[in-house]
Structure 1
Amino acid sequence: MEEKPTRTRIVDAARDLMRTAGLARTTTKEIAKAAGCSEAALYKYFSSKEELFLTVLNERLPRLAGLLGTLVADPGGRSVEENLTEVARQAALFYEQTFPVVASLYAEPQLKRRHEEAMRTYGMGPHKPIEGLAAYLRAEQQHGRISADADPMAAASLLLGACVQRSFAWEMTPDRRPPDSLDDFARTLARTLLRGIA
């Protein structure tokens, strides 16, 4: 079996360690060791742990940003309910997988500031999905598939906020079992939101 390229091994190791130990407690030294390379080799590909984390977000977690970009570019495809259901599904998966990674940032103010600066530098941040979903909903308004008096930013915040809350609430629960399946959650959430903005 052919060995994975060094960069791929580094990103995979970073994802695995960040998900189990959290971003604050994962070091570049541990990532390099898990990837089977030197720390110097890691720095040939990534300038910092923050850049590596952003790469993990973009390349190894559910592609929420890509989905939203596609919907904004072609809002008239599937029904609004189908699109919102898929957004809710991908968002719930995304937040479920990122919550354990980023939760540790709140215990390390210096690391949190560095992380925030890196996100600003790369044009990323937790507000981006809300802006992307709001842009999609505005495009649907222009196509007449959403009420003209609906507030796209509020609707986007409601849908994505529910996805974040699902991750947080069930991550904090000992048995960690949501009352409904991910597909049922996404479908019900999209349908309920759409009733208010259609």
Structure 2
Amino acid sequence: MGTRDRILDAAEQAIHEFGIAGATTKRIARQAACSEALLYKHFANKEEILLAVLLERLPALAPALARLRGSVGQGDVAANLAEFTRTAVEFYTKAAAVGGGVLGDPPLLAGFRAMLTKHDLGPHLPIQALAEILRAEREAGRIDAGIDPGAAAALLMGACFHRANLTYFVDLPDDDETWTAAIIGTLLRR
């Protein structure tokens, strides 16, 4: 395993053990068995380390969106969306530790926002990609012509985000498969 991977593993572990505030570059370096100076040879700042953890260590939405995009016009739309929904809930569940910590630290949030802007990234992009996929399915006649793809994408992603966050506070009464089927059924007007 290379140094960069060791740093990301250490950062992910530190975030989960100590939260964002406790995942200092000093602690990350110590857990990665390297110097802080070596961290900065691979990453410009803590924000870049956090972004790399989000993009490289969590269940990625990009591959799930690519699979969904590849299934346009093929298979069962509800089943395809259900598979994506499960991945999105898993992503948001694991991203909560990073996201919550970033939101709770205004200087870190400002740096993170600037970095997202610089790299043309952000949480709005998966919603836009999902909207394009839903638009293609609508144009193929596979979902109701009255569905607004942008609103449907925002609702689905918002539901996934909300479900993921609820799991930190309460035991949810229904199982994930039942919830996923209900969300997709409602979204597709079934």
Superposition TM-score, scaled by structure 1 size: 0.88
Q: Which amino acid aligns with 2:48?
A: E
> Taking CA–CA contacts closer than 8 Å with sequence separation of 6 or more, which of the two structures ends up with the larger relative contact order?
1
Per the alignment, residue 28 of structure 2 pairs with 31
2:90 to 84, 90, 93: 93
8 Å contact from structure 2 (residues 47, 111) kept in 1: yes
8 Å contact from structure 1 (residues 134, 152) kept in 2: yes
> By how many angstroms is 1:116 displaced?
0.8
Q: How does 1:60-79 map to 2 (within 5 A)?
A: 60-79=57-76
Deviates more, 1:138-147 or 1:180-189: 180-189
Q: How does 1:67-146 map to 2 (within 5 A)?
A: 67-146=64-143
> By how many angstroms is 1:59 displaced?
1.3
SS at match of 1:29: helix
Say whether residues 1:182 and 2:176 are aligned partners: yes
Superposition TM-score, scaled by structure 2 size: 0.91
Identity of aligned residues (%): 43
Give the paired residue count: 190
> By how many angstroms is 1:74 displaced?
4.4
Per the alignment, residue 58 of structure 1 pairs with 55
Q: Which runs of 5+ in 2 are unaligned?
A: none
The CA deviation string for residues 14-68 of structure 1, in whole angstroms up to 9 with x for no partner, is 1111233333432111111111111111111111111111111121111112211
Q: Which runs of 5+ in 1 are unaligned?
A: none
Closer/same/farther in 2, CA of residues 14 and 140 from structure 1, 3 Å limit: same
> By how many angstroms is 1:190 displaced?
1.7
Q: CA RMSD in A?
A: 1.7
Per the alignment, residue 42 of structure 1 pairs with 39
